[in-house]
């Protein structure tokens, strides 16, 4: 299938650099965002649509990158939505992180129109969105995946097909559980070490090459040591993901007690006005209790 034009809906922290990477790769883009400015996309040669429907009418493949399930459902199934303009055989690649059940609902509606869909959430945050090294996990029909794969590869360093529709978001929920718990474990350990009088930077250098080492530790500990909680991935977004994980787990009768505990830590930070901070600010919850900051 020849892709002449790509529709991109959602130009936030993640969507904006992802869309720009597609333009850099030579694709013609038709973009729409209800709230974000689009002047920079005009200068890059993209066409600015006036609705989600118009994006669908003019695109061979449509990408959505929106905050949560209600936003994707509105953009696709709502008035002037994608479903009103999508053509038979067109692929919708929803790269948002949403509830698997919502992906399945949208998929069923699009299937009645003869359209295809994949759920393709990403991991890596803003830095990896900017440098096109996101990890992309994909669920949906294999046919749709094969069509979208070359485009997804322009936004990520790994693109992995994991199964039927919804599987991508199940995989993302697993990812978000592991990341949240990892940051919490790192936070507990480094607050303990610092309160005990051991230099936290020395602790980091000593353990990062061993079994406790991880991508999360390597990315987040330097931020913590610098007191830099500028968001790559905001606490309020991680709350959204863990809520989807908890809801999905409850539907499936799967206990996820550790996830529930970290969710309460994130909620406490949000109440303290830190919802827009990077999720590495989980350490501040422990710092407050221990009355000790982990810094260089």
Nearest to 193 by CA among 283, 85, 60, 83: 283
pLDDT 10s digit of each residue in the chain, 296 long?
788 899 999 999 999 999 999 999 999 999 999 999 999 999 999 999 999 999 999 999 999 999 999 999 999 999 999 999 999 999 999 999 999 999 999 999 999 999 999 999 999 888 899 999 999 999 999 999 999 999 999 999 999 999 999 999 999 999 999 999 999 999 999 999 999 999 999 999 999 999 999 999 999 999 999 999 998 889 999 999 999 999 999 999 999 999 999 999 999 999 999 999 999 999 999 999 999 999 99
Q: Which of 20, 53, 172, 220 is catalytic?
A: 172
Strands 134-140 and 116-119: antiparallel
Name the nearest CA neighbour of 113 among 145, 161, 81.
81
Cα 273 to Cα 173: distance, rounded to the nearest angstrom: 25
172 assigned to active site: yes
Domains of the chain, each with CATH number or no CATH: 6-165 (3.40.50.720), 170-290 (1.10.1040.10)
């Amino acid at each position: 299938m020849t892709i002449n034009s790509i529709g991109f809906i959602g130009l936030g922290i993640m969507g904006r650099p992802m869309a720009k990477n597609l333009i850099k790769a030579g694709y013609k883009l038709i973009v729409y965002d209800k709230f974000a400015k689009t002047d920079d996309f005009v200068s890059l040669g993209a066409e600015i649509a006036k609705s989600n429907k118009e994006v669908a009418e003019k695109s061979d493949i449509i990408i959505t990158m929106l905050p949560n399930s209600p936003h994707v459902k509105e953009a696709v199934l709502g008035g002037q939505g994608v479903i009103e303009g999508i053509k038979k055989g067109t692929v919708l690649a929803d790269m948002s992180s949403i509830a698997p059940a919502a992906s399945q609902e949208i998929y069923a509606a699009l299937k009645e129109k003869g359209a295809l869909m994949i759920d393709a959430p990403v991991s890596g945050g803003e830095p990896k969105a900017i440098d096109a090294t996101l990890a992309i996990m994909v669920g949906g029909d294999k046919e749709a995946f094969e069509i979208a794969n070359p485009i997804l590869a322009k936004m990520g360093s790994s693109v992995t097909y994991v199964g039927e529709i919804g599987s991508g978001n199940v995989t993302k929920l697993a990812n978000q559980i592991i990341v949240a718990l990892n940051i919490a474990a790192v936070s507990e350990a480094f607050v303990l070490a610092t309160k005990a009088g051991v230099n936290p930077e020395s602790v980091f250098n000593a353990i990062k090459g061993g079994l406790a080492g991880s991508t999360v530790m390597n990315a987040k500990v330097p931020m913590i040591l610098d007191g830099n909680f500028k968001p790559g991935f905001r606490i309020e977004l991680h709350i959204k993901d863990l809520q989807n994980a908890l809801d999905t787990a409850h539907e499936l009768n799967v206990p996820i007690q550790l996830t529930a505990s970290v969710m309460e830590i994130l909620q406490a930070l949000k109440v303290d006005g830190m919802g827009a901070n990077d999720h590495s600010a989980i350490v501040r919850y422990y710092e407050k209790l221990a009355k000790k900051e982990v810094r260089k």
